[in-house]
Amino acid sequence: MLVKELMTTDVVACAPAETLAEVARLMRERDCGFVPVVNSEGAVVGVVTDRDLGLALGGSTRAAERISAAEVMSAPVFACFADENLKAVLATMGSHHVRRLTVLDKQHGHLVGVLSLDDVALASHRWGSPTGDEVADALKRIVSPRPIAAAV
């Protein structure tokens, strides 16, 4: 099974200069917890998750209208392509400890969708999709402690 069979294509994105107030509004309206940040050339430069938003606002005295997406976005962005095999993409999610990947077009690297572990788990009964055990294994890798990188 390929990513394009399960990915969400009606994806909302924001610009790096957009405020967290706007990002939160987008998340609320679209019932999502993940907003890709796209620059003026159409490249995905980061993502803002509901966790990023909560940590930024909970640890700041600044109002959401005064904090930009660029200040709190997670980067680098982990991505895949629409024609990739889901089992390989699960390995990518596990190795980077992320539950969502942006889906990029191969020609320009522009955003064409988002694939979440939830999308994969909900399709585990479909022919050719990863099994429930494979999804559970990916989730175990995603939530396992990340190795601590040495500061250089």
pLDDT digits (tens, 9 = 90+) for 8-50: 999 999 999 999 999 999 999 999 999 999 999 999 999 999 9
Distance separating alpha carbons of residues 118 and 23, to the nearest angstrom:
21
Q: Which of 135, 55, 147, 52 is nearest to 97 (CA)?
A: 147
> Is residue 68 in some structural domain?
yes
In CATH, what number is assigned to the domain containing residue 51?
3.10.580.10
pLDDT given at position 151: 60
In the chain, which residues have pLDDT < 50? none
> Is residue 149 in some structural domain?
no
Reported as half-sphere exposure (CB side, CA atoms, 13 A), residue 78 has a value of 17
> Is residue 83 in some structural domain?
yes
Distance separating alpha carbons of residues 91 and 83, to the nearest angstrom:
15
pLDDT given at position 149: 65
Report the DSSP pairing between strands 111-116 and 100-104.
antiparallel
53: containing domain: 3-143
Into how many domains does the chain fold?
Answer: 1
> Is residue 151 in some structural domain?
no
User: What's the pTM value of the predicted model, to 2 decimals?
Assistant: 0.84
> Is residue 48 in some structural domain?
yes
For residue 76, whether the previous peptide bond is cis, meaning omega lies within 30 degrees of 0, is: yes
